[in-house]
Amino acid sequence: MTVFSISSPPAPRAGIINDIVLRYYPNEATIKAGFIDRVLVPQSPRTISIFELPIGKSRVDMCKVNGHSAAYEIKTDLDTFDRLEGQLRDYFDVFESVYVVTSERRWHELPDYVPEGCGIYSYRQDPSDGTYHFQTRRKAAKCTDLDAEKQLRAIPKHGLCAIFNIKDTHMSKTAVIEACLAESTPQKVNLAFKTYLKQRYGSHWKRFREIEPSVLGIDYEWFYRNGLDPSIVY
């Protein structure tokens, strides 16, 4: 039987490619990697982070949940702000706090429609080693007017039936959501939304944290989704 070690470093060629991309191509994947390493991972060990979660008509770049839920939309210098208004509208309906993450050069150029309650992180790249550093420019205000229906729609039907103890699994998802709304307060729905995220993605994040020391930054999201041992891939 072959035993794979997750402590083995990536192959030299893969490491070289990773270093080049991180230093010279500041795209969404590289910013995400830096944000995970310097902002999300140092937070509470109870925190679960999630990549690319579909919410409404949007897909949030990063979000986290522990006792509190937060969404992070990354806008690099390669991105425009064209879709940001609709994205923020979706996130504010579902998450207790929302942040935009953008470069040190652009954070003060955010459009006027970005709410005062939206938090802001800026990032800059250290020219000596290419690493990214993040600074909180504005702390997010806690959202209290959440959209319970939109939160429920983010949960698959089988998850709703399990969380709300609905026995009739032949009901349509719309009917299930209507039943949940009729019997639950917005506070209970918000708690159910966070519970679902923890149950659905907790094992993904735990596995990723185990293998992260052996994963290259540009591959974080891929390994998060697949959970393979890095020694098989590199």
192-210 pLDDT per residue, tens:
999 999 999 999 999 999 9
Asked if residues 205 and 36 have their Cβ atoms less than 8 Å apart, the reply is no
Query: Within 13 Å of residue 81, how many CA atoms lie on the same side as its CB?
Result: 15
Sign of CA pseudo-dihedral 164, 170, 176, 180:
negative
Mean pLDDT of the chain: 90
Instruction: Provide the β-strand partners of residue 70.
Output: 64, 97
Q: Which of 228, 221, 226, 223 is nearest to 61 (CA)?
A: 221
Please give the average per-residue pLDDT across 9-22, as a whole number.
64
Looking at residue 88, the DSSP 8-state letter turns out to be: H
CA distance 17 to 23: 10
How far does CA 168 lie from the centroid of its chain? 32
Q: Which amino acid is at 205?
A: W
pLDDT band for position 11 (cuts 50, 70, 90): low
Measured CA to CA, the distance from residue 213 to residue 232 in angstroms comes to: 15
d(CA 173, CA 132): 43
Residue carrying structure tokens 């806008």: 75
Q: What is the pLDDT of residues 112-130, one digit of tens each?
A: 999 999 999 999 998 888 8
| pLDDT tier, 213 (very low <50, low <70, confident <90, very high otherwise) | very high
For position 196, what pLDDT does the model report? 96
Average pLDDT, integer, range 161-170: 91
pLDDT digit string, tens, across residues 45-98: 889 999 999 999 999 999 999 999 999 999 999 999 999 999 999 999 999 999
Is the CB of residue 98 less than 8 Å from the CB of residue 121?
A: no
| Residue spans per domain, the chain | 12-226
pTM here is 0.89
Q: Report CA 176 to chain centroid distance, whole Å.
A: 27
pLDDT mean over 120-145: 93
Q: How far apart are CA 157 and CA 177, in angstroms?
A: 8
Say what the alpha-carbon torsion angle 94, 90, 107, 68 is, to the nearest 10 degrees: 10
Q: Is a pLDDT exceeding 90 seen at residue 12? A: no
Rounded mean pLDDT, 139-164: 96
Higher pLDDT, 234 or 178: 178
When pLDDT is cut at 50, 70 and 90, the band that residue 4 belongs to is very low
Residue 99 CA, chain-centre distance (Å), reads 11
Asked if residues 221 and 29 have their Cβ atoms less than 8 Å apart, the reply is yes
Check if the beta carbon of residue 64 is closer than 8 Å to that of residue 43.
Answer: yes
| pLDDT at 7 (0 to 100) | 45
Q: How far apart are CA 153 and CA 172, in angstroms?
A: 12
3-state secondary structure of 137: strand
